[in-house]
Amino acid sequence: MKKVVRGRNGLLKGAVALVACLALRDPGVHAAQLVVGIADMCSVSNHVSVQTAYTEAVSMAGNLPIVLPAQTNRAAVARLLETVDVLLFCGGEDIDPARYGAEPSPRLGAVNLKRDAWEFLLLDEAVKRRLPVVGICRGCQLINVYFGGTLWQDIPSERPSEIAHRGNKLHPVRIVPGSRLAGCLGTDLMDVNSSHHQAVKELAPGFRATAFAPDGIVEAIESETLPVAAVQFHPEKLLVNNGRSEFRKLFVDLPGWAGAKKATGFATLTTPCAYTNEAGEVLLYRRAELSGRAEARPSRGGGTRDKTRSASLVLFLHGAGERGSDNVAQLKHGVWPILDFFAERNEPVCLLAPQ
């Protein structure tokens, strides 16, 4: 987006700026703490509900869980997502087969049409924002269906095997080496729990299967282009109920598991402020702090200002310094005028510019 910005530091033409309009957060929340939005499971009439294992797992990882109540208004959903860093979809009922163009199986379990509508709308808005998204159990199936995949409606009758996928029984899974899941867990083979009778059948375009049960059932998926990932098993129960501390890693680095990685090579930051994918595209904007006195810069009047301030708004100059625009190239080494421009308007800002 081309912007012409005028402040006391003069006219800056052609500045390429991506503005993330974030909700102001409590300054008492540490900048490194992720706010994890957990979608309302809509499982009890007239209640907002999420099983405590999900919130406890997020908290045990040092992050902040908040439950997002079901909404039908798209604007309200978009506003909710402004408050979170990562979105988590939980387990639950079967997804309506009409969502993936199939007739209901006689063995189809209970469906929750209200929840389907809410979660598809929520996921749609999250994808538009390139917000990191993770799914567990039904959440894995939801993500696969949303992106164009299909499901086994009932594994025992449609794809019988010796593996018991229900009853929270343990079975081994093989994790694809080099996958984000393998990177987070630090292994390619482990025992996991199972509590599902549906699973990924046809994998959604743009995704890859990254873990398999011995019978070939898909146990994890990852998007190849978006910060989206999911597992069919229940890492939150393994961590909270079974003391499997290795699964804490997933909840510590939910953006990394989803496919967003912490930005590197940027100046003026004391804490990670943006997550990027391998192409360098910004995927997640977070409140951060500019670094201290060492990052002070001389003003045009000859003095020196301490530029330390909390940031609730993030500008990222992606591709700043490319040939063909001297004004944009100058921003590579002249970020302070833009910081001043927003500071004068009481909009604390952190600007990321390549060094």
**pLDDT tens-digit series, residues 342-351:** 455 454 444 4
Query: How high is the pLDDT of residue 32?
Result: 64
| The pLDDT of residue 337 is above 90 | no
Known active-site residue 236: yes
pLDDT mean over 294-314: 35
| pLDDT of res. 248 | 97
Output phi, psi for 339, to 5 deg: -60, -45
> What are residue 39's DSSP bridge partners?
68
Q: C-alpha 47: how far from its chain's center?
A: 25
Once rounded to an integer, what is the mean pLDDT over residues 253-267? Answer: 69
Task: Report pLDDT for 241.
Answer: 95
Residue type, 278: E
CB burial string 293-316: b at 16+ within 10 A, e below: eeebeeeeeeeeeebeeebbbbbb
| Structure confidence at residue 344 (pLDDT) | 53
Region 5-9 average pLDDT: 32
Per the CB < 8 A criterion, the answer to whether 17 and 24 are in contact is no
Lowest mean per-residue pLDDT among 98-102, 138-142, 241-245, 293-297: 293-297
Q: Which among 140, 219, 236, 273 is annotated as catalytic?
A: 236
What mean pLDDT is predicted for residues 62-86?
95
Alpha-helical runs (H) found in the chain:
52-60, 74-81, 113-129, 138-146, 155-158, 180-185, 235-240, 248-252, 254-258, 326-331, 336-343
pLDDT computed for residue 46 by the predictor: 83
Q: How far apart are CA 262 and CA 271, in angstroms?
A: 10
The yes-or-no verdict on residue 107 having pLDDT over 50 is: yes
Active site residue 137: yes
Distance of alpha carbon 267 from alpha carbon 264, whole angstroms: 9
The pLDDT score that the predictor gives to residue 33 is 86
Q: How far apart are CA 173 and CA 226, in angstroms?
A: 24
The answer to whether residues 240 and 204 touch, using CB atoms and an 8 Å cutoff, is no
Q: Which has the minimum average pLDDT: 36-40, 159-163, 233-237, 302-306? A: 302-306
Per-residue confidence (pLDDT) for residue 205, from 0 to 100: 96
In tens, the pLDDT along 187-214 reads 999 999 988 999 999 999 999 999 999 9
Helix (H/G/I), strand (E/B), else coil: 353 = coil
Q: Let me know if 333 is a catalytic residue.
A: no
pLDDT of residue 94: 96
Other beta carbons within 10 Å of 10 = 10
Place of tokens 């390429």: 16
Look at 13-22, 32-41, 253-262, 295-304 and tell me which has the smallest mean pLDDT.
13-22
Q: CA-CA distance, 25 to 320, in Å (whole number)?
A: 29
Domains and CATH numbers, the chain: 2-22+262-352 (no CATH), 35-252 (3.40.50.880)
Q: How much is the average pLDDT of 108-129?
A: 96
What percentage of the chain carries pLDDT values higher than 70? 64
Residue 65 pairs in a beta bridge with: 36
**pLDDT over 80 at 22, yes or no:** no
Single-letter residue type at 231: V
From the candidates 137, 140, 184, 350, give the one annotated as an active-site residue: 137
In the set 165, 171, 196, 234, the catalytic residue is 234
pLDDT over 90 percentage in the chain: 59
